[in-house]
Amino acid sequence: MATPSTNTTKVSALKSEPNAPEAAIPTSSQQWQWGLVWGLLSPVFLGIVPILAKVAYAAGVNVLTLVAFRTGIAAALLWLGMLLFRRQFIRSSLPAVVGSLIAGAINGLGSLFFYTSLTRIDASLGQLVNISYLVFVTVFLRLAGQKISLLTIFRTGLTIGAIYLLTHGGAGPADWLGVGMMLFAAVTYALQLVLSQRIMLDIPAPTMTLYAITAMAVVVTIAWFFAPTDLRLVSTAGWEAIGLMALVTALSRLTLFLGVKAMGSIQTALLGVFEVVVTIVIAAVFLDERLTMLQWLGAAVLLVSIFLVRFEKGVPRFVDWWQFLWRNLLPRK
């Protein structure tokens, strides 16, 4: 039987051996680099989504049918992939699963407003308004026990002014209802982003993606059953757009949560600026959408508000929402 001293000698010899195999342990730098890759891929996928939605609407697909089947197919693809290749990601703790379902349900509600808004406003305008979720991420992080700074108030004011310019400065009449729906979607997306970072301390990103998108599918499918449509009326072009949206949705959520897990919600959210660029370019090329000079000014003001996050002080990297709810909202005996 080996003694502790002989074991120590063997370990030391193994370490000194130049050709001894080493365990592949990812460093924090490698983790951040992979997080950067995922964080950049996510806005690319998210930027394509509004364009595909416009294509589906042009093919005669209504909002609830689009949202319900796009999300349902995406959830089915994820479940199929997990069952075939990564079954270990399906099982998890009950609190983590419940947290993922809550975050997904919030995002599912927001997606109903997001896609309804796109029936009223241009894809490029909608994406510019939606990117305001970057400011709401900071606000939500501060609300959880942190003092609201003057800079946060100033950034929120800039965002409101930018949304006014984007809405009022268009070539046609201002559609405040459509913009308001997109703003609500931005708030729910920011809330999901902040919640997800705490949840993924306990579970892998693929597991959160699976249960979050499942909850999204349940929420939007319930909405569809309140006003079902005859699916035989959906054209082939409509189904093609829905199928592509489902694939892009699954990939965007997976890369989003991988980015949040590696870099945090604020850093991942900042990379989300690129989804606006993707949408504006594709919308200009394929949908012939153009922003006016006043809207470009609004976009510039919005970007200033977003990048001022670099000067925010005392914003927590993440919030332990379970502890926050326990201390502040649950009744005491």
Residue 296 carries which side chain, given as an amino acid letter? Answer: W
pLDDT attached to residue 312: 66
- Interval 59-79 mean pLDDT: 93
The model's pLDDT over 188-214, given as tens digits with 9 standing for 90+, comes to 988 888 888 777 777 887 888 899 999
Sign of the alpha-carbon dihedral angle for 17, 23, 24, 29: negative
The model's pLDDT over 9-45, given as tens digits with 9 standing for 90+, comes to 433 443 444 444 333 444 566 666 676 677 677 778 8
For residue 65, which of 52, 77, 54, 56 has the smallest C-alpha distance? Answer: 56
Q: Would you list the DSSP string of 253-308?
A: HHHHHHHHHHH-HHHHHHHTHHHHHHHHHHHHHHS-----HHHHHHHHHHHHHHHG
In angstroms, the CA 209 to CA 62 distance is: 26
Inform me whether the pLDDT recorded for 260 exceeds 90. Answer: no
In angstroms, the CA 223 to CA 68 distance is: 8
Q: Label residue 146 by pLDDT band (50, 70, 90).
A: low
pTM: 0.73
In angstroms, the CA 317 to CA 266 distance is: 8
Average pLDDT, rounded, for the chain: 78
